[in-house]
Amino acid sequence: MTQDSNLESLRYVDGKMTLLDQLQLPLIVHYDAITSVQDGWDAIREMKVRGAPAIAVAAALSLSVEILSMTKANKFSDTSALKEHALEQLEHLKSSRPTAVNLFNMADWFKVYIEDKYEVLSKDSVLELAEAIDEKAKKMMVDDVSKNKLIGDHGAEAMVKMTQKKDELRVLTHCNTGSLATAGYGTALGVLRSLHAQNLLKRAYCTETRPYLQGARLTAFELSHDKLPGTLIADSMVSMLFKNKMADAVVVGADRIVANGDTANKIGTYQIAISCAYHKIPFFIAAPTTTIDLSLKSGDQIVIEERAATEMKSISGVMFADPDIEVWNPAFDVTPATLITGIITECGTFYKPEGSDTFDLSSQIANIQLV
Ligand SMILES: CSC[C@@H](O)[C@@H](O)C(=O)COP(=O)(O)O
C-alpha cells in the first residue's frame, strides 16, 4: 500500500476476497486470501478483521466466496442443497464474535433474502441462486460506504450545532471506527473526515484503546495516512484533556445500540462518557442503523465478549505482565443512554425526547428498514 492509496479493510473482485490482516498493522500491510466461510470465521475471531460493520461485510463476502466456488465445483445437486448450506453457514458465522449486532442482523436478513430467492427459482437454478447471493453481498459492501458518508455529514452538522462553535473543533475518539472498521470511510472517524473536508476539524485526539490498542495501532495510522491533524493520547489522559479544555466534543462508534439508546462499544467508552458528563462535553455515538438492536430494551441484556488473557498481557507476542497473574478482559462496555448526547446514523441524528433520560429508538426509527 502506498501513502496515496485508500485504506481498505477488505477487497472483493470477481468472487475473490482478501482481508487486510489488522494484527500486523501498522508495521506490515498484508492481505490474506479468504476462500471459505471458515477462513472468514477465523479472521473475525482472531480479529484480523474487526469493527462492527467490517465484521458483517467480511462474513457476508466469505459466504459468497464459498457458495460461488462450491457452485463452480458442482457441489450442490439443486437449489435446495445450496440454500441449506448457506443457511447453516450463516448460523456458523454468528458464533464468531458475540457483541457486534451488525453480524447478527446481516445473517438474519440474508437468510430471509435467500429463502425468498429460493422460492421463486426453479430447482436447477443453482448458479442463479449463487449469483444472487454474490450480488447481495457486494451490495452490502457498497452500501456500507454510502451510509458512512451520510453519517459523516450528519455528524459534522450535529457537532457544530451542539458545540455552538464557529471555528474549528477539537474532537476525541476512541478505538478504531475508520476505513479499517468498515467497508470504507468509517463511522465516528467518518464524522472526523467530514469535519476535516469542511475545514472544521482543528484536531482529532485518539486514545490508545488498551488493551488491544486499536487506537494506537489503527486510528493513529489512519489519521496519519489520510493527513488529518491527529494526536495520540493514553486512555488515562482523557479527563486531563477535558479539564484542560483541549476537546470540544467526543464521537465514538458502537457495536450494539439497544432500544433505549444504551450502547455497547469498545471497553473504556463508558469512562469517557462519564468524564464528558462531568466536564459538560457533548458525547456522540456514530453508527449505521445496522448497529441498532430493537429486540433488547436495555444495555444490561447485551452479551459482552471476554477475550483471552494473553491479549492483555502481551503485545506482538512479547509478554510484559506477570505470566501467572489472573486477568479480566471484557472487550466492550455499555454506556447508558443518559450519558449520550445524540446518536448519529445515516438517517440523521437522534436525540432523547424532551424530558427523557433515554432514547425511544423503536418509535424514532419506526419507518426505517434496518439493513
Ligand atoms: C465502526 S466500528 C464501531 C465499533 O465496532 C468499534 O468502536 C469497536 O468497538 C471495535 O471493537 P473491536 O473489538 O476492535 O472489533
Confidence at residue 235, expressed as pLDDT on a 0 to 100 scale: 98
Q: Is the CB of residue 24 less than 8 Å from the CB of residue 197?
A: no
Q: Is the CB of residue 126 less than 8 Å from the CB of residue 281?
A: no
305 CB-near residues (< 8 Å, 6+ apart): 97, 98, 99, 330, 331, 332
Q: Is 275 helix (H, G, I), strand (E, B) or coil?
A: helix
Confidence at residue 2, expressed as pLDDT on a 0 to 100 scale: 42
Please check whether residues 158 and 136 belong to one and the same domain.
no
Q: Is the CB of residue 91 less than 8 Å from the CB of residue 107?
A: yes
The candidate with the shortest Cα–Cα distance to 152, out of 356, 358, 345, is 345
Please check whether residues 163 and 137 belong to one and the same domain.
no
Confidence at residue 369, expressed as pLDDT on a 0 to 100 scale: 59
Would 4 be classed as within a structural domain?
Answer: no
Enclosing domain of residue 211: 150-364
Please check whether residues 95 and 66 belong to one and the same domain.
yes
Q: Is the CB of residue 191 less than 8 Å from the CB of residue 282?
A: no
Cα(198) to centroid(ligand 1), Å: 26
Counting residues of the chain whose pLDDT is more than 70, the rounded percentage is 97
Q: Is 141 helix (H, G, I), strand (E, B) or coil?
A: helix
Please check whether residues 36 and 164 belong to one and the same domain.
no
Please check whether residues 124 and 98 belong to one and the same domain.
yes
Out of 235, 255, 262, 333, which one is annotated catalytic? Answer: 255
Q: Using 50, 70 and 90 to split pLDDT, how confident is the model at 316? A: confident
Strand partners, 264: 256, 334
Would 5 be classed as within a structural domain?
Answer: no
Q: Is ipTM strictly over 0.95?
A: yes
Confidence at residue 4, expressed as pLDDT on a 0 to 100 scale: 47
What does pLDDT average to over the chain?
95
Q: Which atom of ligand 1 is nearest to the CA of 178?
A: 1
Residue 124 has pLDDT above 60, yes or no: yes
Q: Is the CB of residue 99 less than 8 Å from the CB of residue 264?
A: yes
Residue 1 has pLDDT above 90, yes or no: no
**Nearest residue CA, atom 11 of ligand 1?**
51
Over residues 35-57, the pLDDT tens digits come to: 999 999 999 999 999 999 999 99
What is d(CA 68, CA 65) in angstroms, rounded to the nearest whole number?
Answer: 5
Cα(34) to centroid(ligand 1), Å: 21
DSSP string of 312-365?
HHEETTEE-S-TTS----BSEEEE-GGG-SEEEETTEEE---TT-SS--HHHHT
CATH at residue 316 = 3.40.50.10470
Site to substitute for ligand 1 among 25, 46, 105, 255, most atoms within 8 A of C-beta: 255
Residue 329 has pLDDT above 60, yes or no: yes
Q: Which atom of ligand 1 is nearest to the CA of 186?
A: 1
Please check whether residues 168 and 98 belong to one and the same domain.
no
Q: Using 50, 70 and 90 to split pLDDT, how confident is the model at 368? A: low
Would 281 be classed as within a structural domain?
Answer: yes
Please tell me the total count of domains within the chain. 2
* For residues 357-365, average pLDDT: 93
Confidence at residue 144, expressed as pLDDT on a 0 to 100 scale: 97
Concerning whether 78 is annotated as a catalytic residue, the answer is no
Q: Which of 100-114, 160-174, 184-198 is predicted least confidently? A: 160-174
Would 369 be classed as within a structural domain?
Answer: no
* For residues 86-111, average pLDDT: 97
Please check whether residues 119 and 169 belong to one and the same domain.
no
Would 316 be classed as within a structural domain?
Answer: yes
H/E stretch holding 183 reads none
Residue 267 has pLDDT above 80, yes or no: yes
